[in-house]
């Protein structure tokens, strides 16, 4: 074989090996089959997880009001983005269109690992980048609660995405870059502040709307909760850092319960659903979120 041909052959082999290694490193990583073997779900506790996670806000019918806990969850709400339009799936207990045939482990893989029931990468329009640190007990409780909801046979609607964003294989690289296992706000936090971090950084996924994103849609962790100007042509999403949100902890907790601000304004927009959900959590949980927000670093 001539030297040039040898070199080309070597490049092909190295290129193939590199591609294979890259896709191996970015393959879906579900939990082990026995990860939830000893966990029993509690539907009553799961209702609180359902509220904290804002499940109804995304998965109820597009024309439905947030009717609280006894609500059908057929999905279908559209989420427009610069990558295309995503449609929330059916998470009712329907065995065909919903999650009636899922196990608690399937739900954990989706919520925490971003892996679908068939082993595919899920799109991060589902906020698993925030749900990453959800405890498996909370997932088990949520699963138990979801099975108590009325089944709905509404078919799921396919996402409308442009190339190359319609290639799920690329999502492994996105996860490698932007899905982290650690917390953003660290340090010597009190037990109350840690609970607030769990709710705000995790289940409540506040950063999904209140944190700027880079060109690939990853949250900019060094600008955590600093707000997003003109998100998708809508009004500004405000910052929640202490230098911007100068309310007291009491004011923040009261707002999360009542929707009323210290200057006698009322909640509006998508925060209406957030307040609807947080109003049904405990006073301790709302106080914890307020305490956490006071520990978020100011804008750089």
Tens of pLDDT, residue by residue over 22-70, are 555 578 899 999 999 999 999 999 999 999 999 998 998 887 665 555 5
What local confidence, expressed as pLDDT, does residue 8 receive? Answer: 44
Q: Where are the domains of the chain?
A: 43-178, 191-293
> What is the token pair recorded at 159?
């996402």
**What counts of helices (H) and strands (E) characterise the chain?**
12, 3
Angle at which helices 271-278 and 249-258 pack, to 10 degrees? 100
Res. 93 pLDDT band, cuts 50 70 90 = very high
Please state the rounded mean pLDDT for residues 200-220.
94
What local confidence, expressed as pLDDT, does residue 83 receive? Answer: 87
What local confidence, expressed as pLDDT, does residue 296 receive? Answer: 96
Contacts 24+ apart (CB under 8 A), 118-122: 119/28, 119/30, 120/28, 120/168, 121/28, 121/168, 121/169, 121/171, 121/172, 121/175, 122/171
Residue 226, pLDDT above cutoff 70: yes
Res. 88 pLDDT band, cuts 50 70 90 = very high
- Quote the Cα angle for 67-54-292, to 5°: 130
What local confidence, expressed as pLDDT, does residue 13 receive? Answer: 42
What local confidence, expressed as pLDDT, does residue 22 receive? Answer: 55
Q: How is residue 209 annotated by DSSP?
A: H
Decide which of 165 and 97 is more confident: 97
pLDDT tens track for 242-279: 999 999 999 999 999 999 999 888 888 889 989 999 99
Q: 191-293 adopts what CATH topology?
A: Cytochrome Bc1 Complex; Chain D, domain 2 (1.10.760)
pTM of the prediction? Answer: 0.87
Residue 4, pLDDT above cutoff 60: no
What local confidence, expressed as pLDDT, does residue 235 receive? Answer: 60
Give the Å distances, CA to CA, from 291 to 188, 192, 194, 197, 198: 13, 7, 9, 9, 12
pLDDT tens track for 275-299: 999 999 999 999 999 999 999 999 8
What local confidence, expressed as pLDDT, does residue 9 receive? Answer: 43
- Dihedral of CA 105/80/230/266: which sign? negative
What local confidence, expressed as pLDDT, does residue 121 receive? Answer: 95
Q: Is the peptide bond before 164 cis (omega within 30 degrees of 0)?
A: yes
Phi, psi of 233 (to 5 degrees): 80, 0
- Structural contact between residues 42 and 55, judged by C-beta atoms closer than 8 angstroms: no
Please state the rounded mean pLDDT for residues 108-121.
96
Please state the rounded mean pLDDT for residues 8-27.
50
């Amino acid at each position: 074989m001539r030297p040039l041909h040898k070199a080309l052959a070597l490049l092909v082999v190295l290129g193939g090996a590199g591609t294979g290694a890259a896709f191996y490193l970015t393959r879906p990583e579900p939990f082990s089959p026995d990860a939830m073997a000893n966990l029993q779900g509690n539907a009553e506790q799961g209702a609180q997880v359902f509220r904290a996670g804002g499940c109804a806000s995304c998965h109820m019918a597009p024309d439905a009001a947030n009717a609280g806990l006894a609500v059908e969850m057929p999905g279908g709400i559209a989420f427009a983005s610069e990558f295309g339009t995503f449609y929330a799936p059916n998470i009712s207990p329907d065995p065909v269109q919903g999650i009636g045939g899922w196990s608690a482990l399937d739900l954990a893989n989706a919520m925490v690992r971003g892996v679908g029931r068939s082993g595919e990468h899920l799109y991060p329009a589902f906020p698993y980048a925030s749900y990453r640190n959800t405890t498996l007990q909370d997932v088990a409780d949520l699963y138990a609660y979801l099975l108590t909801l009325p089944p709905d046979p509404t078919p799921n609607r396919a996402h409308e995405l442009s190339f190359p964003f319609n290639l799920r294989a690329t999502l492994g690289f996105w996860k490698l870059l932007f899905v982290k296992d650690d917390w953003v706000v660290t340090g010597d936090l009190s037990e109350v502040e840690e609970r607030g971090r769990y709710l705000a950084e995790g289940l409540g996924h506040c950063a999904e709307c209140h944190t700027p994103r880079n060109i690939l849609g990853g949250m900019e962790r060094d600008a955590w909760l600093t707000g997003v100007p003109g998100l998708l042509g809508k009004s500004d999403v405000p910052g929640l850092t202490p230098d911007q949100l100068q309310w007291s902890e009491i004011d923040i907790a009261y707002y999360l319960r009542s929707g009323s601000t210290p200057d006698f304004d009322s909640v509006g927009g998508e925060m209406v659903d957030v307040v609807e959900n947080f109003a049904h959590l405990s006073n301790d949980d709302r106080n914890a979120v307020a305490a956490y927000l006071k520990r978020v670093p100011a804008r750089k």
